[in-house]
Amino acid sequence: MNDLPQTRLAVTPLRFDPAFEQIPDDEAHTSKELADTLRSIMETTFNDSGHANRSVHAKAHGLLRGQVTVLDNLPAELRQGAFSKPATMPVFLRFSTNPGDILDDKVSTPRGQAIKIVGVDGPRLPGSEGDVTQDFVMQNAKAFTSATPKAFLATLKLLAKTTDKAPGLKKALSAVLRGVESTIESMGGESGTLKSLGGHPQTHILGESFSTVVPILYGPYYAKLAMVPVSASLTALTGLHVDFADNPDGLRAAVTEYFIQHSGSWELRIQLATDIEKMPIEDASVQWSEELSPYVTVARIDVDAQPAWDDEKVRAIDDAMAFSPWHGLQAHRPLGGVMRVRKPSYEMSSDFRASHNGCPIREPR
Ligand code: HEM
């Protein structure tokens, strides 16, 4: 038994129907352009630094080992895929921010979080056969900034042009944008583009909640997955402004300082879709109503105190691992255009890193 609260399903989940996915004729072309643009970012940063970084989410702020415990009292609808039976499995966590350059943390941008669960059973996704991992790749948001791959390509092309350009200018721009963003937020709005350019509030990354933003299969249903801090020492950090002083790696320092002394716990929560119109698959920009379908807890992640950043972890997790929504079980197949085009881009990015860093990337067993 574990001490997590009993979960009860208050909604009737909608069964996934293949007709919910609609592939535009030009998707393959968009997908190739996305991968080419991301590769150009990697080439630029590789030429500068001699190290192949991820084409986006290049900078990691914490690399952690922990364990995930699947609740043993789940209703049948929630017992799917990686969560189909009570179990405790090893998990790796990588916290990041979204640019493809390694910037001063004062250029404050949206945050990413990727987890890799080791030891799941079941039929595997294409390209992921023979492995035993399940990745969930998340952002601290509940919907994607762009509705479609094509819309995202337009934004990415703009961001790609800023790769490598005048880091000092980005820092100054970020400070201005944070002010503009907080004005927009005080008026009840939010701008994904401003946040991506450095307008994200300078908060502690460990206080953030993350979600897959876009849907995945959940057995016969479809859903979004979230990771939410629940231990008191983590929730105390939510929304907390962190003063980085002059440290360009202020977020990493904050994560390291926390995990020297503290452990941390998060819950993994599932939001099952109940309505294809209100919870669409092909429009990634729609935030699904939590009134119509609240997130329910399916598992807990526990991380003990540990060094959150050291050479061994940089080699083993940052360089020798790739996190992708396409590493995992068919029961959690990524859904919708944004998810479909991620597959070749993530493969391109991890292949580039493996070949240019002379560091094979393998799934842990
Ligand atoms: C068209 C849409 C997208 C494309 C083309 C794309 C592409 C990529 C690529 C190429 C990487 C680097 C992978 C590697 O080298 O291992 C990456 C990493 C990442 N992406 Fe995406 N992405 C997209 C959408 C998203 C969305 C919707 C999310 C959040 C839910 C997300 C979150 C992340 C995170 C957190 C990482 C870092 C993973 C890690 O820690 O290794 N991306 N993305």
Question: Rounded CA gap, 6 and 294, in Å?
Answer: 15
Give the count of beta carbons closer than 10 Å to the beta carbon of residue 330.
14
Atom 3, ligand 1: residue with shortest CA distance: 342
Distance of alpha carbon 67 from alpha carbon 87, whole angstroms: 10
pLDDT digits (tens, 9 = 90+) for 280-298: 999 999 999 999 999 999 9
Mutate-to-test residue for ligand 1 from 40, 42, 56, highest number of ligand atoms within 8 A of CB: 56
Ligand 1 mean position, distance from CA 76 (Å)? 31
Q: Give dist(CA 197, CA 25) in Å, integer.
A: 31
User: What pLDDT tens digit does each residue of the chain (365 aa) get?
Assistant: 444 444 568 899 999 999 999 999 999 999 999 999 999 999 999 998 999 999 999 999 999 999 999 999 999 999 999 999 999 999 999 999 998 889 999 989 999 999 999 999 999 999 999 999 999 999 999 999 999 999 999 988 888 887 766 565 556 545 555 655 555 555 555 666 667 667 799 999 999 999 999 999 999 999 999 999 999 999 999 999 999 889 999 999 999 999 999 999 999 999 999 999 999 999 999 999 999 999 999 999 999 999 999 999 999 999 999 999 999 999 999 999 999 999 999 999 999 999 999 999 999 99
Q: Is the CB of 331 under 6 A from ligand 1?
A: no
| CA of 212, closest atom in ligand 1 | 30
Residue whose C-alpha is closest to residue 118's, from 141, 96, 93:
93
For residues 144 and 137, give the distance between their C-alpha atoms in angstroms, rounded to a whole number: 13
| Ligand 1 atom closest to 361 (CA) | 16
Pocket perturbation via mutation, ligand 1, pick of 145, 345, 347, 362 by most ligand atoms within 8 A of CB: 345
- Please give the distance, rounded to the nearest whole angstrom, from the Cα atom of residue 153 to the centre of ligand 1: 13
Q: Ligand 1 pocket, 112 CB below 6 A?
A: yes
Q: How far is the CA of 3 from the centre of ligand 1 (A)?
A: 33
Q: Is the CB of 83 under 6 A from ligand 1?
A: no
Residue 54 CA, ligand 1 centroid: distance in Å: 9
Dist. CA 1 → ligand 1 center (Å) = 35
DSSP per position, 239-255: T-B---TT-TTHHHHHH
pLDDT at 328: 98
Query: What 3-state class would DSSP assign to 39?
Result: helix
How far, in Å, is the centroid of ligand 1 from the Cα of 349? 10
Looking at residue 179, its pLDDT comes to: 56
List, in sequence order, every residue forming a beta bridge with 224; answer none if it has no partner. Answer: 271
Q: Please indicate whether residue 38, judged by its CB atom, sits closer than 6 Å to ligand 1.
A: yes
Question: pTM of the full predicted structure?
Answer: 0.92
Q: What pLDDT does 161 receive?
A: 82
Output the CA–CA distances (angstroms, integers) from residue 191 to 92, 145, 217, 288, in the order listed.
31, 9, 29, 18
Nearest CA to ligand 1 atom 8: 346
Give the residue, by CA position, lying nearest to ligand 1 atom 41. Answer: 323
**193, 162 in Cβ contact below 8 A?**
no
> Token pair for residue 178?
């944070």
338: nearest Cα among 42, 99, 34? 34
Domains of the chain: 18-322+340-357 (2.40.180.10)
Q: Name the residue at shortest CA distance from atom 2 of ligand 1.
A: 338
